[in-house]
A and B are shown apart, each in its own frame.
Chain A
Amino acid sequence: MNVNDDTARSHLDRSNLDRSNLDLETPEKPYLDANELIINMGPQHPATHGVLRVILKLDGEKVLGTECVIGYLHRGVEKIAENRTYTMFNPYVDRMDYVAAVSNGLGYCEAVEKLMNVEAPARAKYIRVILTELNRVASHQLWLGTHALDIGAMTPLFYTFRDREEILKIFERYCGARLTTHAFRIGGCQYETYAGFEKDVKNFLTFVAPKIDEYEELLTTNRIWLERTKHVGVISGADCVALGVTGPVLRASGVQWDLRKAQPYAAYSDFDFEIPIGENGDTYDRYLVRMQEMRQSLRIVEQAVNAIPEGPIMAKVPKVIKPPVGEIYHSIEAPKGELGYFIVSDGSTQPYRLRVRPPSFVNLQALDIMVRGALVADVIAVIGTLDIVLGEVDR
Chain B
Amino acid sequence: MAEEVKSPAPLPPPDGEKKPTAEKPAAAAPAAPAKPAAPAKPAGPVPVPWTSPMVEKYRNQYGSGLDAQTYLGQNYLSVDRSLIPDILRLLRDQEQFDYCVDITAVHYPKREKQFDVVWILYSFPRNERVRVQTQIADGDPISSCVSIWAAANWLEREVYDMFGIRFEGHPDLKRILLPDGWKGYPLRKDYGILQQDKEWVQINLGIESGQ
Which residues of A are in contact with B by a Cβ distance under 8 Å?
70-71, 74, 76, 78-80, 82-83, 114-115, 117, 239, 241-245, 255, 257, 262-263, 316-320, 322, 324-329, 331, 338, 340, 342, 344-348, 352-353, 355, 357, 361-362, 364-365, 394-395
Contacts and interface: CB of A to CB of B under 8 A. Distances in A.
Contacts of B42: 325
B150 interface: yes
Interface size class on chain B is 35 or more
A257 B154 contact: no
B118 A114 contact: no
Interface in B139-195: 149-151, 153-155, 158, 162, 175-179, 186-187, 191, 193
Nearest to B149: A242
B22 A348 contact: yes
Contacts of B5: 318-320, 322
Contact of B99 (A70, A117, A241, A342): A241
A361 B44 CA distance: 30
A318 B177 contact: no
Q: In the A-B complex, list the 5 residue pairs whose CB atoms are closest, starting with the nearest.
A: A326-B44, A346-B22, A244-B151, A71-B177, A318-B1
Contacts of A327: 43-44, 71, 76, 131
A317 B4 CA distance: 11
B177 A394 contact: yes
A326 B71 contact: yes
Contacts of A355: 102, 104
B101 A340 contact: yes
A329 B106 CA distance: 14
A158 B197 CA distance: 44
B22 A342 contact: no
A257 B101 CA distance: 14
Given A243-B151, A318-B4, A78 B102 contact: no
A328 B193 contact: no
Contacts, number: 138
B149 A244 contact: yes
Contact of A74 (B101, B118, B178, B191): B178
A347 B8 contact: yes
Contacts of A395: 177
Nearest to B73: A114
B154 A329 contact: no
Given A322-B4, A325-B45, A326-B43, A338 B101 contact: yes
Contact of B25 (A316, A317, A325): A325
B4 A117 contact: no
Given A70-B176, A325-B15, A326-B72, A319 B1 contact: yes
Which of B5, B23, B154, B193 has the largest count of A CB atoms less than 10 A from its CB?
Answer: B154
B98 interface: yes
Nearest to B24: A346
Given A79-B186, A242-B150, A244-B149, A74 B177 contact: yes
Given A70-B177, A318-B4, A357 B102 contact: yes
Nearest to B8: A347
Nearest to B2: A319
Contacts of A241: 98-99, 124
B124 A257 contact: yes
Contacts of A357: 101-102, 120
B149 A115 contact: no
B19 A325 contact: yes
B66 interface: no
Contacts of A80: 193
A76 B186 CA distance: 8
Nearest to B153: A365
A254 to B, nearest CB: 12
Given A80-B193, A117-B12, A322-B8, 5 more contacts: A79-B187, A318-B4, A326-B71, A331-B101, A347-B22
B13 interface: yes
A344 B155 contact: no
